Structure 1
Amino acid sequence: MTALPTASEPTLYEIDDEFLVPDRGDEQEGPANAVPAGDPDEAVRLFHEYRRRVAEILGFEEELPEPATEEDLDAAEERLGFALPPDLRALYGVADGDGDDVINSVFDGHPWHPLDELGDEEEDWLLVLDWEYEPQRRVVFDSEPSNAVRRSVLRPGWIPFADDTGGNWLAVDMDPGPEGRPGQVIAIGVDYSDGPLHVADSVTTLLRRQVEALERGDYRVHDKSIWIDADLPNGLAVDRERSWYTDAASVGAETGQARPRVQKVRVSDVADLAFLAAIPNVRSLSLSGGGPLDLSPLRDRPVEYLELELGAADLAGLAGHPELRSLSVSAAQPVDLAPLRAVPRLWALDIADASIADLTAVTELEGLRFLELTREQWLELRDDLPPLAVVGIHPHRPEREWPLGTRWNAESGEPPR
């Protein structure tokens, strides 16, 4: 029998190895406009124009591979399970990717994959979804434009066609969100685990921006290489725009400014939730302070992950919250968990650093699949819990610092009962 964790070993028990973090993208509708935005003839014209201009600037023209055949394209689409957008398909009719010798790829410096590598990507970066990396604390955020891209980390309908050689890819999205278009270009990979980046509504538009940058002179040349500033969306800038970290001393002065793009918020020394008036789209929220707080204003916000580090926590305001999926509570004074019975989507709960008034309330959370708690709490609850997929057990009450996180020892199977 597996032993309970020792004093130095928080242990994560993966009971159901088929359970994955629920994919929010699966809950979204498909595109209102299912017609691709790209134009195959225009894409081919822009492709040749790009190559002509780059050759003029550098003084030489790079040789491309032979075109892919229609048979090759049909076979690739059958393998992928999705039709390629017409503009990208047309480009493969010009050349089968960049080849091995091209220095300056047309796709924002991302080497263009040949057909036989289309859709391939190294999946080591998907380790961020492993339970040791605590995906229950991560929210996949909405794209900009809103609802253009499904809120997933990876989907079968996202077909990588170029990469940055650093664990990120450009992909055509053949399974877009309600405000997206099939064939839109997105960035996915290790730098986009909080959500894909919408790059352009089509490969055609991506090419057009590259050509327009060359026309403006927005480029730099070094030796045989050219760097083009096509003013494309930047993942780091997007992340800064959607994150807001502040404290009670500053929050009053800052809340006068509407922040519709902000989706991730941390407020320390918080006294109330008045700041939410300026943040209609917050999805990940971390609050620390003395408490207790009136949490009822959260019911009007799409918060999916809530982190409370309070001296006293009153969860009554969370009852009926329609979107909350994951909750972490740290509190010195006893917390009543009963209101969580009325949080219909809650599947993850962390109470390891909380005094709980009545632990039996946990046994009544029928949708719970992930539970993090102390050894003492586990011993009290273990015989009456709902069917859990993952249990994290701390040998003693952890000392928490933001951002929360635990160095887990992972094991398969149920904790000992």
Structure 2
Amino acid sequence: MSSIHDYALWEPLIRVVREGNAAALSEPGGRVAGRIGVGSWSVPMPRRSPPAGRAMLVQDMQDEWDAVQRVRDVLVAEGPESVGFLLETPGRPVLHLFDTGTAVEAGLQGPYPGALLLVEGAVPQPWRCLPEAYPGRGPDPAADPGLLERTLRERLPDAVGATEAEIAAAEARLGLALPDELKAVYRVVRAHWEDGDRDHIEVLGCELVPLEELAFADAASRQRLWQFAAGVTLRTGPGDAVQDLVGSPGWIVFGGNGGGDSFAVDLTPGPAGHTGQIILISHEDMSGAALHADSLTGMVTGRKPSRPSPPVTGESPASVWVNINSTRSVAEAAHPELEVLQIGFWDGEPFSLEPVAGLPRLRTLSAYPGTLADPRQIGRLTGLEFLMLAPEEWRVLLAAGAVPRSLLAAGIHVNGTPHPIPVLDLADELLTLWDRPRITRTVLEGP
């Protein structure tokens, strides 16, 4: 048994949580739940305020910090990535631990599970999309590798460049010939810290990635929590310079802006783009990229792109929200192009799903609790890949044997802070339908 299941490891956290939630735990059926992970934690504690005139410091919550860190140290050393917990005190403390394993994404709310991964290795549909080939797309006429190299040498006279052998090694590792402009950049500056070539940041307008760290911004490199990624839709218009993709095997990341965003050479441009154009990939977006320059030459010489991306106008028929502030009926949302239907808060009569039955592209459905007139109608949506429902609606589907077998992943809507055990029981039932590993549970009793 891993030391993560050692009661002594959790004793400081139990003490802190009991002291901070004494009133809640003293009530009949009182409980406190949370989650601790390698990168973050969620421990229910009363809000603390620092002394007047001073910001909050670690020492103001040192007891909580130390208790959490004990657990995190074990997670880092032994795994798992995160563990949910439920503390009950019916006399003696009882601590339930939940390891969601490889078949469940960590939830965003305490111990409640995130998306259930019903098919091993499956990814949302946008992550499976490859770039289109648009005939006639070529380099920007003003792209000039020779001019680019001369300009860089003039502005960076002391820079250390890469050798031809090092460039060839990078091409062999990536499996393609680097664009001539990109090779021109690395012939001048290879961006090694030991070279002290920091002046290139101002000259290039980005922090250059060392040659040996060049990588593709393909779909696998983009974050993809199913709960959010299943709602992504892609939309490339005829006037777009950049294809709306999650990632592309033709996006070569060569730099960053210091804020988490990446610059890439785009070898798979959109219908109005240029091969070799420079795009900026935001770390906050799950898809798409913005045109930054027509070429590396243009980026260094300060020439603005000749074809700024046209603004996206109107709501895409591929993704529709139905709620009190948006589209107000499922019938209004029904469209042959509909891929994602999300039904949010609604104070009227529940909706029938009859208008969207048989739509050829509908792959994601998320419904707020109580918004469906008959959840069993979901059984007719035979192309669904992701379904998110409240526990009550899932129970209706399970009882009717109407859970779509086309699902790749599933989610459970949790409102408020219900007892975690029934929610985890439901998750295990769904995982069992697909013969997936269930959530591991451990119960520890203290003195």
TM-score (norm 2): 0.60
Whole-angstrom CA distance in 1 between matches of 2:372 and 2:217:
45
How do 1:64-83 residues align onto structure 2 when only pairs under 5 Å count?
Answer: 64-69=159-164, 71-83=165-177
Aligned alpha-carbon RMSD (Å) = 4.1
Residue of structure 2 equivalent to 1:23: 126
- Paired residues of 2:191 and 2:197 also in contact (CA < 8 A): no
Please give the secondary structure, in 1, of the residue aligned with 2:349: strand
1:279-307 deviation line (CA, Å, top 9, x unaligned): 3xx33xxxxxxxxxxxxxxxxxxx32211
Please give the secondary structure, in 2, of the residue aligned with 1:356: coil
Match of 1:308 among 322, 330, 333: 322
Please give the secondary structure, in 2, of the residue aligned with 1:186: strand
Please give the secondary structure, in 2, of the residue aligned with 1:137: coil
How do 1:132-151 residues align onto structure 2 when only pairs under 5 Å count?
Answer: 132=227, 134-139=228-233, 146-151=239-244
- Paired residues of 2:218 and 2:247 also in contact (CA < 8 A): no
Residue of structure 1 equivalent to 2:197: 102
Q: Tell me by how many angstroms 1:110 deviates.
A: 1.4
1:325 partnered with 2:343? no
Q: Tell me by how many angstroms 1:85 deviates.
A: 1.5
Letter of the aligned partner of 1:110 in structure 2?
C
Residue of structure 1 equivalent to 2:248: 155
How do 1:120-199 residues align onto structure 2 when only pairs under 5 Å count?
Answer: 126-127=222-223, 129-132=224-227, 134-139=228-233, 146-199=239-292
- Paired residues of 2:357 and 2:380 also in contact (CA < 8 A): yes
1:150-209 deviation line (CA, Å, top 9, x unaligned): 212322221111122332211111222232222111111414435211111211111221
Residue of structure 2 equivalent to 1:336: 352
Whole-angstrom CA distance in 2 between matches of 1:47 and 1:11:
49
- Paired residues of 2:221 and 2:247 also in contact (CA < 8 A): no
Over the matched positions of the two proteins, sequence identity in percent amounts to 28
Whole-angstrom CA distance in 1 between matches of 2:144 and 2:429:
52
Stretches of 4+ moved more than 6 A in 1?
Answer: 5-8, 120-125, 408-413
Whole-angstrom CA distance in 1 between matches of 2:127 and 2:112:
32
Residue of structure 2 equivalent to 1:117: 213
Whole-angstrom CA distance in 1 between matches of 2:391 and 2:429:
17
Q: Which consecutive unaligned segments of at least 5 residues does structure 1 have?
A: 52-60, 213-230, 243-259, 264-278, 284-302, 399-407
Q: Which consecutive unaligned segments of at least 5 residues does structure 2 have?
A: 1-97, 101-106, 418-422, 434-447
Whole-angstrom CA distance in 1 between matches of 2:385 and 2:371:
21
Residue of structure 2 equivalent to 1:201: 294
Q: Aligned in 2, Cα 1:7/1:150: closer, same or farther, shift over 3 Å?
A: closer
Q: Tell me by how many angstroms 1:333 deviates.
A: 0.6
Whole-angstrom CA distance in 2 between matches of 1:98 and 1:123:
28
Letter of the aligned partner of 1:392 in structure 2?
G
- Paired residues of 1:35 and 1:181 also in contact (CA < 8 A): yes
Whole-angstrom CA distance in 2 between matches of 1:356 and 1:121:
39
Please give the secondary structure, in 2, of the residue aligned with 1:93: helix
Residue of structure 2 equivalent to 1:390: 409
Asked which structure has the greater RCO (Cα within 8 Å, sep 6+), the reply is 1
TM-score (norm 1): 0.63
- Paired residues of 1:370 and 1:389 also in contact (CA < 8 A): yes
